[in-house]
Every structure is written in C-alpha cells, then in structure tokens.
Amino acid sequence: MGFLETVVSLIILRCDRYLSDNGVNDSIRGFTALEGFLARLDDEALKEWADVTSGPDGGRDAAAASSEEARYLEMLDRFGEDTVIQSLLDLCLAVFVCPEFDAYLSKHFGYSVTLHLAYLLEGIPFPDEKDVLDRIGKAGLFCDVDMKVSPLQYAPLCIDEKIYDYLCGEDTINPRLSGFTELFKAEDAALLNSPYVNMDAIRRGIAFFENKGCVLHISGSGGRRFVARQIAASVGRDFLFINIADLFTGTDRTVLSTLKGALIREAVLDGAGICLYGITNLFIYGFDKPGGRHTKRDLEMLERLLFTPIIEVGIPLILISDDPLVLIRSLSDTLYRIIELPDKLDYSARVDLWHGFDEFYNLGIIPEDMAVRYHMNASETAGVIKSYIERRDLDSEDKDEFLSKISIEHLGEIDMHEVGRIIYPTVRLDNVKLKDEIRNVLDDVVNSVRVSARILDSWELRDIFPYGRGVSLLISGPPGTGKTMSANAIAGELGLPLYQVNIANIVDKYIGETEKNLERAFSYAEKTNMVLFFDEADSLFGTRSEVHDAKDRYANTEISYLLQRMEAYDGIVIMATNIKGNIDPAFTRRIRYIVHFENPDEELRRQIWNDCLKDSVPHGDIDTEYLASQFDKFTGSIIKTVFLNACAYAAGRGEELEMKHMIHAVKLELEKTTSVGFSYDTLGKYAHLM
C-alpha cells in the first residue's frame, strides 16, 4: 500500500470512529470501495506511516521519506503544526482518490468536505471567527474556496488534479492553467539568446529582486517577456508566464477567483514567481467599456482580487504592460519598481541587435544595412528572423525581398489593401532613362536614406532635428515622364517594398475620416519601413484655399494635419504630381528633395527605343534614329506603349518585328492622342508602309 493510500485509509477510519463514538455503528457497510481501502490497511503500512510522521523527537522525518511522503510532509510544514489543516488535506485527498467517500460523507454528515468537518474530527465543534478566517486562508493554498458562502466553515472544499499530481511527485502544470501558462525554468537559461539590447533594464531588474523587491513592472514595447526571462534566469528563479487576458474575462470575479487560486497554488508548489503579461491599454483603461477610460475602481479591483493575494503569499511578481501606469498603489518604491523599455530602438541598438542575431544564426547579412532598413523593436526583429530561418530553405526569393515580405506579415495590418497596395519593385535607377542632373538628385535621395540613421544617432544630430527627419521627395512633370517608375526604382535601390496609396480610398466625405485613413497609411508604412508613395499628390497636398464655407475649412484642416504628420514622419515618402505649382508652398518648404521631370529630349528618346529592342525580341532593321527624331512629343511611357503594341501586332501575324509594325503602332497612338484628323505626313519617310 502506497503512502497516500495509507493517508486516505486512515482518514476514512477516523470518520468511521467519530461516527461510532456518536452512535452510528458500521458506517462503512455498503460502501465497497471504502471497505476495500480499510481491508488493505495492514500493520506494515501503519508502521511506515508512523515512522514518517513521527521522528525520534516527535518531529517529522522528511529526510527519510520517499517522494510521496516527502511532498506530503513538505506541504504540511507550510502550515506549521496545524492538525486541523492536516485533517482537511486528508479529507480532500480521500474524496479525490475515492469519489465514493463523497457519498459517504453526504449520507452521514449531510455535506461533503468542509472546514467544519475537519474541526469535528479534531474535537473543535465551535471555532471562533478569527480562527476560521485564518484556516480558510491556509486551505486556499491547496483548495478552491468560495468566499461568498456563509458561514465560511461550511464552504465546500476540494483539491484539483495539480495537488494530487504534486503529492505523487509529478511537476506538470495544472490542466486548468496549461492552456495559457508557460513555466520558464531558470535552468533553461542556456537556451535563451544573449540580450543584445536592453541590458541596462535587465541589470536593474536583477538588482531589484536581489534587494528583496516584490513587484517588478516592465512597460513599453519590444522584448518585455525576453527581459523578464533574463531576469528570472539571473536570480535563479522559475517563473510562470500567464496571459492575463486569458486569466481574467471581463469582470467575472468568480472566474478570476478560481483561476487565481489555482495560479497561486501552482507558483507555491513549484517555488516559482509569476509573470502576468498582456496588460494592454484596453485592459487597463476600461475592460472593454465604451470610451476606453479607466476608473479608480477598476484598478482597485484588479489590485485587490489578483495582485495583492499573490504578493501576500510572498510570490515574486512581474507585470508587463504597454504603459507605465502604476498598477499597485499600496507598495513603496522599494517593493514596487517600474522599468520602461524604449518604444523604438535607436540606430546603434538596432545594429547591435542584428549583429547578435547574425552571429547566433549565421544569417549572412550586413547588420548596418538591416538597421537602416528595419526600424523594429527587439521582439519584432526576433519574430521576423525566426520566420526567416524556418522558411529560407523553402523559398528561392531574393533575401532582401523575402525579409521584407516576412516583416510585413509580422507587422502589417489587416485590410490595409483598402488604403493602398504593396509593390515589390524589380526596377532600379539604371533602368530609368534620366538626365544626369535628375539622376544625381535621385542618387542623393537613396544615399540620404542609407545614412540617415547613422548621422542622426552616431553623429548625435537627433537632438538638433527633433522633427523633419524623414526623407521626402517631390517629383513633378507631365504624364508618362517616369515619375512612378522612378519611385519604384528608388524603393528597388533600397531593397524596400513600396506602398502606393490609393488616393480615392483615402479621401472621405465624412469629417475626420480622411485624417484617419492618412494616419493608417503613415503608421503602416512607418512600422513596416516601406517607401510611402502618393501618386497625383496634388489632390491631397494641394494649395489651401480661402475659407468661404465649412467644406473649405475642413479641407484646410486636412492639409494642416498632413503638414504635422509629414514633419513627424521618420520614414521615406515620395510624392508625384503633374504640376508642381499645385502643391501648397507649406509642403514644398518641408520637402527635402524636389525634382522636375520634362519630356525626354531626342537622345533620351533614342536610348529608350534602343532599350526596348532586347536580343530576345525577334526583329529586323528598326530605325530608332528616325523614331526618336520624328516623334518628339513621345514620352517614355508612350514609347513603351507603342513598342508593346508593335510587338503584339507582329506576333499576332506570325512575323518578326519590322518597321511596318512600328509605324502601325505609331499611327494608332497618334490617332488616339490627336483631336484633329490624322495626317500621313506625320509619319515622314515611312508613311508608305501604311
């Protein structure tokens, strides 16, 4: 017979003798399972139980006990020499091991396990109120207690699977908590990555607990749970990590009380601390109430029903929240400490982070380039790298583009396609035919983006430029001159996706909605580090008008918002417009680079025609000199359209590309764009081909 089985048999025997002393004989008769327990209770089992529970000096000999015996005695030692609590634990164990015992108690006592029953077995029929409260508090460490029952000594008590498993020597997490609870063991510290950033926060957290601190509150964003694990490992303490949103549903105090008890028991039995994360702004500021405003009562309830019971048991507590709002007002600064992590990592910290991950995972990247391209915090960076490592052998995409796609998956929002579309450019500046002076400006834009973080942080210029640190470019010029292609090429040079805003979906007739849509676009591009592109920008960035009615006033309000958002934006924004003069002067003053595209001259037109004639295109003699000089109004976009139509015309007839096909496509274009009758004289020396 095992030790716990002996404990169960003895409490059954004690109940039978209590009833016998009070005139109820043979109380066990008819309860087959209980009779079986007593039948197996032999002298050897009784002697073993007596040896364990009473040492030579009347004390318990835990050192000589087996795992079941040691853990049973260890649990009793938590309550001192309290025989009432020992009887209560034994009663609960008996009901858990042998459900028939519950029916036995209900038949003979009128109720199942209660504190009152334990008092009766110990000969204390009338305990005072203070004694009941004290022992109910102790019972809460191994039982669920409904504190609403009156009187409390009649509250039904029971243990759960965790207590029994623990007494049997198993250390599994309580099934009621396992779905949202993770046990971090300090001995697993070697499995953690090195803390490449936030080292100062980790050192401060370690010092706080070593100086007998009680509650450490980590706020901010980016790697908060990682920081908590580093602290736990350094102080040599296991910690239970729980998402508080799963523990606490709405304001259901019963659910909170039940799971809170299970959580505290888990921590006490495992000798672990508790880390509660998921304390979001919504959670703090109103528990899903309309308006999202917190009340003093909300925070007091959270403190009273959850935080304080954990603290009173002596369990080290780590809280993780978005904002550094004081969540426990009853503790002094020496017992409660807030450590705030930065919302954004500066350039040098991002370089350190990428260096660390590159060394650990052998990524084969240039950390400085990654630090410029990705403005993610520590946890976001770790998530992107984890996904990249898991999938890099399954994907043949370019590494830079692949990383960008993964970062957007991790950081992007749902339904952002309503506001714009993501483009992964394949063109580069060398693919765009530009005048040298224009190409030089665009090269400056690319270079400025690449060195921006370094000069702001390493050169310590950020304080001098508190706003207006983003890189902005305005491209003006007639349609078809390469504005959109240049925007794509700049993003391609930087290895970044381009987020092209859908102006039609941004502008909304309802007051304030346009600003909300713009904020979504700016925030999305900033977070995912994409190039933000506004085509036909004059519809948004147009000149402010005199206020004649409410419509004018709200239109000007939208422009004022854009001015402020542009100054606060740290990313890359490109605007394209057909007419530079349509842009409000207040914007042009804030735009770092402005370039004007004109229709290509003859030399540029010749280059564009020649570039279209790839070796892969079957063609005869194409007179690009004639095409470039004869059609001086053709922009780059028109030239490409004409060439594509000519290729389609030739291929459709099963022929290689010839001048007759080119002239056919030119005629179609001229007929499309002229408002007067087409003249064959326009075709010059090749008019006869028509």
Strands (E), 270-390: 273-279, 317-321, 336-340
Residue-range domain boundaries for the chain = 3-167, 175-340, 347-410, 429-596, 602-689
For 50-77, what is the mean pLDDT? 69
Parallel, antiparallel, or unpaired: how do β-strands 531-534 and 498-501 relate?
parallel
Letter for the amino acid at 202? I
- Residues 89 and 121: their CA atoms lie apart, in Å, by 12
For 500-556, write each residue's pLDDT tens digit: 988 777 776 555 677 777 888 887 887 777 899 988 777 676 554 443 334 444 445
Q: Tell me what pLDDT residue 240 has.
A: 95
The contacts of residue 492 (CB under 8 Å, 6+ apart) are 425, 426, 427, 428, 429
The β-bridge relationship of strands 317-321 and 215-219 is parallel
- Report yes or no: 567 and 587 within 8 Å, Cβ to Cβ: no
Predicted model pTM: 0.70
Which 3 state secondary structure label does DSSP give 287? coil
Dist CA 138 CA 132 (whole Å)? 10
Query: What does the alpha-carbon distance between residue 541 and residue 544 come to, in Å, rounded to a whole number?
Result: 9
Q: Are 603 and 436 in contact (CB under 8 A)?
A: no
The dihedral through the CA atoms of 368, 373, 379, 385 has a sign that is negative
CA distances from 455 to 96, 126, 451, 472, 530 (A): 68, 79, 6, 17, 20
Average pLDDT for residues 56-60, to the nearest whole number? 48
Residue 510 is predicted with a pLDDT of 53
Judge whether 175-340 and 602-689 match in fold.
no
User: Greater confidence, 323 or 89?
Assistant: 89
- CATH number of this structure's domain 429-596, picked from the four choices 3.40.640.10, 3.60.21.10, 3.40.50.300, 2.40.110.10: 3.40.50.300
Tell me the C-alpha distance between 341 and 223, whole Å.
9
Q: Evaluate whether 161 touches 262 at the Cβ level (below 8 Å).
A: no
- Give the model's pLDDT for residue 58: 44
Q: Is the pLDDT of residue 33 over 90?
A: yes
Residue-wise pLDDT tens digits, 320-356: 998 888 888 888 889 999 999 987 787 788 889 999 9
- For 28, the 3-state DSSP assignment is coil
Is pLDDT above 80 for 493? yes
* CA atoms 636, 642, 643, 644: torsion sign: positive
- 311 vs 138, 308, 316, CA distance in Å? 15, 5, 7
Each residue's pLDDT tens digit, 149-168: 889 999 999 988 889 999 99
- Which has more confidence, 88 or 614? 88
Q: Tell me which H or E stretch contains 495.
A: none
461's enclosing H/E stretch is: none
Q: How far apart are CA 350 and CA 376, in angstroms?
A: 8
Of 64-68, 74-78, 400-404, 648-652, the one with minimum mean pLDDT is 64-68
Query: Is residue 32 very low, low, confident or very high in pLDDT (cuts 50, 70, 90)?
Result: very high
Q: 3-state SS of the chain: helix, strand, coil percent to 5?
A: 55, 10, 35
398-407 per-residue burial string, b: 16 or more CB within 10 A, e: under 16? eebbbbbbbb
Average model confidence (pLDDT) across the chain: 82
Domain 602-689 coded CATH 3.90.380.10: no
Q: Specify the amino acid at residue 123.
A: G
pLDDT for 216 equals 96
CATH match of 175-340 with 1.10.10: no
Per-residue pLDDT band for 317 (boundaries 50, 70, 90) equals very high
Convert 187-228 into a string of H (helix), E (strand) and C (coil).
HHHHHCCCCCCCHHHHHHHHHHHHCCCCEEEEECCCCHHHHH
The Cα 228–Cα 222 span in angstroms is 12
